[in-house]
Chain A
Amino acid sequence: MSDISHPPRDGATPGKGWFESVGIGHLLLGFFLLVYPAMASDFFLTQIGGYSLILGMIALSLMLLAGYGGMVSLAQITVAGAAGYVVAIFGENNSGVYGFGWPWWVYGPLAILIASFASALIGWIAVRTEGIYTIMITLAVATACFYFAQQNYALFNGFPGYNGLRAPEVFGLNWRDPVPFYYLCLANAVVAYVAVLYGARSTFGLTLQAIRDNQRRMRSIGFDVTAHKVFAWWLAGLIAGAAGILLVWFNGRISPGTIAVGPSINILVIAIIGGLRHPIGPFLGAVIVTLMQTFAIDIIGAERFNTLIGMVFLVIVLISPDGILGLWERFKPRAGAEDWRSSLGTSAGKVENQGRKT
């Protein structure tokens, strides 16, 4: 895990306008995602489309921390779950506990805010550690939160959690319906994705990557390393929190099972399968895992399903430590490759071709 590859980037020197840098790949992908509801059944729209986008966002929050910051977190589903519990407690539920019935535009932002601060708190604990120890300590936090939620009835309603959570009706649209819900997920995912893509080359993005490369040097050029790392956790919490709201609307419920160790490792698997080189990776991984979860279970049965996921994970990691993104780099069609890469705004090709000048 310590040799996760780092996202390549263009130089900091500005040049391209935003329009050129959007690129053909993004336009095609965007177009497909926009017209997807026209060709997909309700099942494919929600269970595959919506769900992949939600999982992709949670995995994206991990990619931000791991790919740019070198901090592998197993607590991202915990952060999403924090937002989910806020929705259950302050919004409406039919479990007969809490459910203050606040409007969505109050509990929504509140959920994201609380999740982001929970994330910053976890980060503040975890930044004292490095590498494998960060994984261990976030796993410990995730496990502790799971057991606490399961045993605490006063706040978390214990084992059953909360049922009857639903997306609101706004602007005369019922956001629970497949098409609106899909677009809601898409909009959130796009905002998060674009923010990460842009932010990767912002001053803060460079700072985070520099901290990943060499903390000691960062201190001796005047940066408060701890503060910057905790801020990265806070940002990741915003993304995971927003995804957490969508997740409970998707499931209609939240319980300790949502934030158990299994789901938290699932997020890591998604991020690694997709690849941590580029923010598109987590979404690719989410689509693959969601498709496998949906269809492989029918074919091989639930028992063997985890074995299958495990084997796919192993194969991908062994063939390509950069996940699917890395596979693409390796087996890409030669001619189209440049376009695809530049369209996604990466500079892998540039770095390779640049070589060393002496």
Chain B
Amino acid sequence: MATNVAASRLEGTGANALELEGVGRRFGALTALSGINMRIAAGERRAVLGSNGAGKTTLFNTITGDFNPTSGTIRFFGEDITTLAAHERIRRGLRRTYQISQLFTNLTVLESVYLACRGVSRRRFSLLRPRASDGAMAQAESIVHAVHLDDDREVMVGTLSHGQQRQLEIALALAGAPRFILFDEPAAGLSPTERRDLIAILNALPRHIGYIIIEHDLDVALRVSEYVSMMHNGTLFTEGTPEEIENDPAVQEIYLGGGHG
């Protein structure tokens, strides 16, 4: 499996879900990202590791268009999306979750997921109330089920527990027909049981859906990904299979030894 992925990675054909060339981002004098080159094949599942402040979230933000990179090019399934508006990228099949949950406090769980389904469909605008027969509502219900939030579907999002909010974050990323998902530390703050649920959800995703997962917990990362990128100080430090990364002395020193709170 890992070798297949590595092989398709090296070909660099149009089959790539994501191609980053020289992507950089500065905040004033601070260089949060620089010279990131990355190729991720369609359906590939990648983990990104790196200490606090390494630029992982910033990398996600430039890919999804939460803000644009200050240099470089980003291609999504062959299309240059470097300066495309965020919502346009989402409509092309890109999805993301946030490290700090970004949810609709005063909507119910089901309404939130329903909107996510509407947002990526062509019928995202309607002055009518949603009907039970609505396709988006049906999809929302099945997604709510998939992330184990059935019992809380009518609950206001603001009153959910932290773990439930993290599950809802994932639910929002599953709406429509995602082609590639960026998970920003989905396991942070979860209990061991919730972690097991999360791993099950990720492993149950259809094979054609690729993703990048940022994860501090190496155990989780290695169980849901087949290839690993290491970031350090805004650069891609090294890439490899989970075994290669685990046994790389430089990685040991920077990441595993360095500690990250």
Contact A214/B104 with A219-B90, A224-B87, A357-B155 known, Cβ cut-off 8 Å: yes
Determine whether B79 belongs to the interface, using a CB cutoff of 8 Å to chain A.
no
Shortest Cβ distance from A174 into chain B, in angstroms? 35
Residues of chain B at interface, number, CB under 8 A: 49
Shortest Cβ distance from A10 into chain B, in angstroms? 9
Question: Contacts of A225 on B, CB cut-off 8 Å?
Answer: 87
Question: Contacts of A13 on B, CB cut-off 8 Å?
Answer: 110, 130, 132, 137, 154
Determine whether B41 belongs to the interface, using a CB cutoff of 8 Å to chain A.
no
Shortest Cβ distance from A219 into chain B, in angstroms? 4
Question: Contacts of B118 on A, CB cut-off 8 Å?
Answer: 203, 207
Q: Using CB atoms, name the residue of chain B closest to A355.
A: B159
Determine whether A33 belongs to the interface, using a CB cutoff of 8 Å to chain B.
no
Of B106, B111, B172, the contact of A221 (CB 8 Å cutoff): B172
Q: Using CB atoms, name the residue of chain B closest to A219.
A: B86
Give B9-35 as 1s and 0s: 1 = Cβ < 8 Å from A's Cβ atoms. 000000000000000000000000000
Question: Contacts of A203 on B, CB cut-off 8 Å?
Answer: 115, 118, 124-130
Give A207-219 as 1s and 0s: 1 = Cβ < 8 Å from B's Cβ atoms. 1011011101111
Q: Using CB atoms, name the residue of chain A closest to B108.
A: A11
A209 to B106, CA, bound (A): 8
Of B65, B108, B119, B156, the contact of A12 (CB 8 Å cutoff): B108
Give A188-219 as 1s and 0s: 1 = Cβ < 8 Å from B's Cβ atoms. 00000000001101111011011011101111
Q: Find residues 128-174 in chain B having any chain A CB closer than 8 Å to their own CB.
A: 128-132, 137, 151-156, 159-161, 172
Question: Contacts of A214 on B, CB cut-off 8 Å?
Answer: 102-105
Contact A12/B160 with A209-B107, A221-B175, A222-B87 known, Cβ cut-off 8 Å: no
Contact A220/B86 with A198-B129, A201-B129 known, Cβ cut-off 8 Å: yes
B151 near A12 with CB under 8 A, answer no
Q: Find residues 93-114 in chain B having any chain A CB closer than 8 Å to their own CB.
A: 95-96, 98, 102-108, 110-112, 114
Determine whether A354 belongs to the interface, using a CB cutoff of 8 Å to chain B.
yes
B96 near A206 with CB under 8 A, answer no
Determine whether B91 belongs to the interface, using a CB cutoff of 8 Å to chain A.
yes
Question: Contacts of A199 on B, CB cut-off 8 Å?
Answer: 127
B111 near A223 with CB under 8 A, answer no
A14 to B126, CA, bound (A): 15
Determine whether A341 belongs to the interface, using a CB cutoff of 8 Å to chain B.
no
Determine whether B120 belongs to the interface, using a CB cutoff of 8 Å to chain A.
yes
Determine whether B64 belongs to the interface, using a CB cutoff of 8 Å to chain A.
yes
Give B73-90 as 1s and 0s: 1 = Cβ < 8 Å from A's Cβ atoms. 000000000000111001
A204 near B125 with CB under 8 A, answer yes
> What number of residue pairs across chains A and B have CB atoms under 8 A from each other?
133
A204 to B118, CA, bound (A): 10
Residues of chain A at interface, number, CB under 8 A: 37
A221 near B161 with CB under 8 A, answer no
Q: Using CB atoms, name the residue of chain B closest to A199.
A: B127
Shortest Cβ distance from B132 into chain A, in angstroms? 5
Shortest Cβ distance from A169 into chain B, in angstroms? 34
Determine whether B217 belongs to the interface, using a CB cutoff of 8 Å to chain A.
no
Question: Contacts of B108 on A, CB cut-off 8 Å?
Answer: 11-12
A356 near B119 with CB under 8 A, answer no
Determine whether A358 belongs to the interface, using a CB cutoff of 8 Å to chain B.
yes
Question: Contacts of A356 on B, CB cut-off 8 Å?
Answer: 155, 159-161
Shortest Cβ distance from B247 into chain A, in angstroms? 36
Shortest Cβ distance from A178 into chain B, in angstroms? 35
Shortest Cβ distance from A12 into chain B, in angstroms? 5
Q: Using CB atoms, name the residue of chain A closest to B90.
A: A222
Question: Contacts of A11 on B, CB cut-off 8 Å?
Answer: 108, 110-111, 153-154
> What 7 A-B pairs are tightest by C-beta distance, nearest first?
A222-B119, A217-B102, A221-B119, A203-B126, A222-B90, A213-B104, A219-B86
What are 14 sample pairs from A and B whose C-beta atoms fall under 8 A apart? A8-B106, A203-B115, A213-B106, A216-B66, A219-B66, A220-B64, A220-B87, A220-B95, A223-B124, A351-B156, A356-B155, A356-B159, A356-B161, A357-B155
